Structure 1
Amino acid sequence: MKRELGIARCGLACCLCSENTNCHGCNSGECPDKDWCENRKCSIEKCYGHCYDCMEDCRKGLLSKIKPYGFTLFVKRYGEQMLLECLERNEKNGIIYHREGIIGDYDEFDDVEKLIMFIKDGKR
């Protein structure tokens, strides 16, 4: 886990991403998706560091997917540090962020509350 990369503006875990080894997170300005990322643009326009800082229950952009939406809700409830701690513990216990391409264990949910419980306790 590259904890220093933290959580992306949209809620994705940059700290666990294995897709782009040259990326230093969406706040670095080096994100390969920075020009089209709706969540990055919106949060910058609203002067928020992350989507989880916003009080709206938004599902636009990457928040239409369960993983970033669930991570964003988790941070709104428990804070970013707790999310990072849970993700690190879960990784050490064999939970995979990216198993094939960008799909991993956190993507296997259709209920956001079940995903949040999975993040919190690491058990299905």
Structure 2
Amino acid sequence: MKRELGIARCGLACCLCSENTSCQGCNSGKCPGKEWCENRKCSIEKHNSHCYSCREDCRKGLLSKIKPYGFTLFVKRYGEEMLLDCLEHNEKNGVVYHRDGIVGDYDEFDDVEKLIAFIKEGKC
């Protein structure tokens, strides 16, 4: 886990991403998706560091997907440090975020509250 990369503006876990080894995270200005990312553009326009800083309950852009939306709700409720702590703990216990061509454990949910509970509890 590259904890220093933290959480992307949209809620994705840059700290666990393995898709682009040269990416330095969402807020580095070098994110490969910076030109098209609706969440990045919106949060910059609203002067928010992240979507979780916004007061709106938004589902646009990547927040239309359950994982970034669930991570965003988690941070709104418990804070970014707790999310990072849980993700790190879960990774050490075998929870897979995602890897090239593999759907991760956090992707298998269709209920956001169950995803949030899984983030807190990990695999049983």
TM-score normalised by structure 2 residue count: 0.97
CA contact (8 A) 1:11 1:68 kept: yes
5+ residue gaps in structure 2? none
* Equivalent position amino acid for 1:52 in 2: Y
Instruction: Give the alignment's Cα RMSD to 1 decimal.
Output: 1.1
Paired position in structure 1 for 2:74: 74
Deviation at 1:26, TM superposition (A): 1.2
Aligned residues: 124
Query: After TM superposition, where is structure 1 displaced by more than 6 Å over at least 4 residues in a row?
Result: none
Residue 5 of structure 2: aligned partner: 5
Contact in 1 for aligned 2:74/2:83 (Cα 8 Å)? yes
Q: Residue 27 of structure 1 aligns with which residue?
A: 27
Q: Which residue in 2 is equivalent to 1:45? A: 45
TM-score of the two chains, using structure 1 as the length reference: 0.97
Take 1:95 and 1:47, find their aligned partners in 2: how far apart are those partners?
Answer: 33
Residue pair 1:19, 1:102 contacting (<8 A) in 2 also: no
The alpha-carbon deviation at position 123 of structure 1 amounts to: 3.2
Please state whether the residue corresponding to 2:59 is helix, strand or coil. Answer: coil
Instruction: Give the Å deviation of 1:101.
Output: 3.0
Instruction: For structure 1, list consecutive stretches of 5 or more residues without a partner in the other structure.
Output: none
1:111 counterpart residue number: 111
